[in-house]
A = this chain, B = another copy of it.
Amino acid sequence: MNRVCVVGCGAIGSLYAAHLARVAEVWAFVRRAEHAKALNEHGLTVSGRHEFQVSLKATNRAEDVPPCDLAIVATKATQVEESIAPVGARFDQGAVLSAQNGLGSEEIIAQHTRGQVIRGTTFMSGTRHSDTHVQYELDTATWLGPFEERQTPYAVVKEAADLIVAGGLKAEPLHDARPAQWSKLIFNASVNGVSALTGLPHSPHFADESEFTGLGHLLHALIEEGKKVAHAAGVNLHDDPWEMNKIGAMTNHPPSMLYDVRRQLPTEVDFLSGAIAREAERAGVSAPLHTAVYRLIKGKEAGWSFQDENRAVSH
């Protein structure tokens, strides 16, 4: 794998692009022309756990992207469709790694490329300070596995993981990535949903079970419900999402969906709570809490373009 395209350069995409540019030819495919221009002129600067600067190629024009051996789709789940559609054919002879939150991105990617599709879940994190500067924070791994519907060979998965590791990031090739993906799905759906609806960052409230009203009870119930759906879908979890929640609840970190609702941007809820609701229906079990959270957040999104005509209140 000599030529790599990173699709979308937010915090995660920038971390992949910068590290891989040290060991491969990297193209960054981004939405904004100014973003591409800045990357071409200044390259990418990484600070935090790693400190280096690297040059790479960038474009916002699909026709500029050459055929690549590996693509990493690192957009939000809501932007996978629009970002992969114009360039998917350039990866027909290669492999495409999905690095989104939640479930459902692999299926979208597979509709737009004949390449091998790799199911990915990343636990690393970073903060994007500008178009050309990203801070590397949590240096946890990306877990990669075959996308079952494409019968992606493990050798391809391993080659992609090896390249990421060669670039200086952590990655783990797996014969089945679903246990890791579902662990993060259940964690993310529960924490992001509660955060988006309450306005609270991932704070100690999320693990508080001292009172009847404690949100820890709700998180526990959401996670148990998610585990029940995973079990019905035939997935054995890799990690316990409740333990992940307890650790995260000490950070006071605003999850991505809270960031989205604060700015009234479309959330990833279709790929998180919505994915659990859909998988529950498919497996013939019920998921009333995740379904309720799903509907509430879709209602919240609908509210951004809907205002009551009379803001006065009566009883």
Is there a chain B Cβ closer than 8 Å to A38's Cβ? no
Which one, A83-91, A172-180, A300-308, is touching chain B? A300-308
Does the CB pair B308–A201 fall under 8 Å?
A: yes
* Cβ-neighbour of A295 out of B218, B277, B302 (below 8 A): B218
Contact, CB under 8 Å: B213 / A303: no
> Contact between A127 and B252 (Cβ–Cβ < 8 Å)?
no
Q: Are B289 and A292 in contact (CB under 8 A)?
A: yes
Q: Please tell me if the beta carbons of B314 and A125 are within 8 angstroms of each other in the complex.
A: yes
Within the assembled complex, what's the spacing in Å between the Cα atoms of A96 and B265?
49
B residues less than 8 Å from A274 (CB atoms): 213
Q: Known: A198-B296, A215-B299. Is A254-B311 also a contact (CB below 8 A)? A: yes
| A10 at the B interface (CB under 8 A) | yes
A194 at the interface (CB under 8 A from B): yes
Query: Which residue in chain B gives the minimum CB-CB distance to A211?
Result: B298
A217 at the interface (CB under 8 A from B): yes
Q: Find the B residue at minimum CB distance from A263.
A: B313
Are B252 and A200 interface neighbours, CB within 8 A?
A: no
- Say yes or no: A203-B306 contact (C-beta < 8 A), given A11-B315, A213-B298: yes
Cβ–Cβ < 8 Å partners of A197 in chain B: 197, 296, 299-300
8 Å CB contact of A205 from B126, B205, B292, B299: B299
Contact indicator B252/A300 (Cβ below 8 Å): no
Q: Is A271 an interface residue (CB 8 A)?
A: no
- The interface bits of chain A over 275-305 (1 if a CB of B lies within 8 angstroms of the residue's CB, else 0) are 0010000000000110110111011101110
- Say yes or no: A292-B198 contact (C-beta < 8 A), given A12-B315, A127-B313: no
Q: Of all chain B residues, which has the CB nearest A262?
A: B311
* Cβ–Cβ < 8 Å partners of A124 in chain B: 315
Given contacts A313-B127, A314-B253, whether A200 and B295 have CB atoms under 8 Å apart is: no
Give the shortest distance, in Å, between A98 (CB) and chain B (any CB). 14
Given A205-B302, A292-B292, answer yes or no on A314-B137 (Cβ-Cβ < 8 Å): yes
Are B127 and A218 in touch, CB under 8 angstroms?
no
Q: Is A295 touching B10 in the complex (CB atoms < 8 A)?
A: no
- Knowing that A194-B296, A218-B296, A288-B289 touch, tell me 11 more A-B residue pairs with CB under 8 angstroms: A126-B314, A126-B315, A127-B313, A127-B314, A197-B299, A200-B300, A200-B306, A215-B298, A215-B299, A254-B313, A256-B315
> Can you report 25 A-B residue pairs in the complex whose CB atoms are below 8 A from each other?
A10-B315, A11-B314, A122-B315, A125-B314, A125-B315, A126-B314, A127-B312, A128-B314, A197-B299, A197-B300, A198-B302, A200-B302, A200-B303, A205-B306, A213-B274, A213-B294, A215-B295, A218-B295, A218-B296, A252-B310, A253-B310, A254-B308, A254-B310, A256-B315, A258-B313
Q: 4 closest Cβ contacts across the A-B interface?
A: A201-B308, A198-B299, A259-B313, A199-B303
